[in-house]
Amino acid sequence: MTKLSSNGLSRRALLGVFAATAVSTAPTFSKAAGFLRGGGDIRRIAMYSGRTGESIDTIYWIEGEYIKEALKEINYFMRDWRVDKAVGIDARTVDIMAAAHSLLDVSEPYMLLSGYRSPETNAMLRARSRGVAKNSLHLKGQAADLRLKNRSVSQMFKAASACKAGGVGKYSGSNFVHMDCGVVRTWGS
């Protein structure tokens, strides 16, 4: 049941208006981080991994500065757990993830399905699925595949797309959204 606000608009309608406004005001990556402003200029990311049992909830940016120690923790958390190899995760991808999470207005952490992928892991996954790119941005630490229990793939896709800051893939059949800091583009169903 959708709750109505005092002026007769549903919360969903209000969120739709906000998303439409966000799309028109966020045409470049430089604007994506703007979604995170207003809370004392603090950026936070929270995730857990069903594969490793690990979780992370960290403030990684304060008042215009990335926190190196927090980024190191994110790098390790988003490692290729199959070969236990970490690389530097592109902070722009983390910014997109955090901005989309903020737009979704949810306290639940992301479930990280895939962050960095080693060439070996990417080749193995490509052999199993047509949906894995040969030159995936996961290989460069510039992409993440994410899921939320309390938001649909469509909702996550719309929030990430509203950032207009990178690639957003919708994988409804597998229940996840891909976010990367590459060229602005969308795909999937």
Cα–Cα distance measured from residue 81 to residue 2, given in angstroms and rounded to the nearest whole number: 40
What are the two backbone dihedrals, phi and then psi, of residue 170, each rounded to the nearest 5 degrees? -105, 115
- Is residue 184, in this structure, part of any structural domain at all? yes
**Residue 2 near residue 12, CB atoms below 8 Å:** yes
**Residue 159 near residue 149, CB atoms below 8 Å:** no
The pLDDT, as a whole number, for residue 135 is: 86
**Residue 46 near residue 56, CB atoms below 8 Å:** yes
- pTM for the model stands at 0.78
- By residue range, what is the domain housing residue 66? 11-188
- Is residue 4, in this structure, part of any structural domain at all? no
pLDDT confidence tier of residue 35, bands split at 50, 70 and 90: low
Mean pLDDT of 172-177: 95
Mean pLDDT of 179-186: 97
Beta strand extents in 88-162 (DSSP E only)? 110-114, 143-147
Within 13 Å, how many C-alpha atoms sit on residue 77's CB side?
Answer: 24
Residue 129 has pLDDT above 50, yes or no: yes
Q: How many separate domains does the chain show?
A: 1
Residue 187 has pLDDT above 90, yes or no: yes
The pLDDT, as a whole number, for residue 51 is: 93
Which pLDDT tens digit goes with each residue over 141-170? Answer: 999 999 999 999 999 999 999 999 999 999
- Is residue 3, in this structure, part of any structural domain at all? no
Mean pLDDT of 100-110: 96
- Is residue 6, in this structure, part of any structural domain at all? no
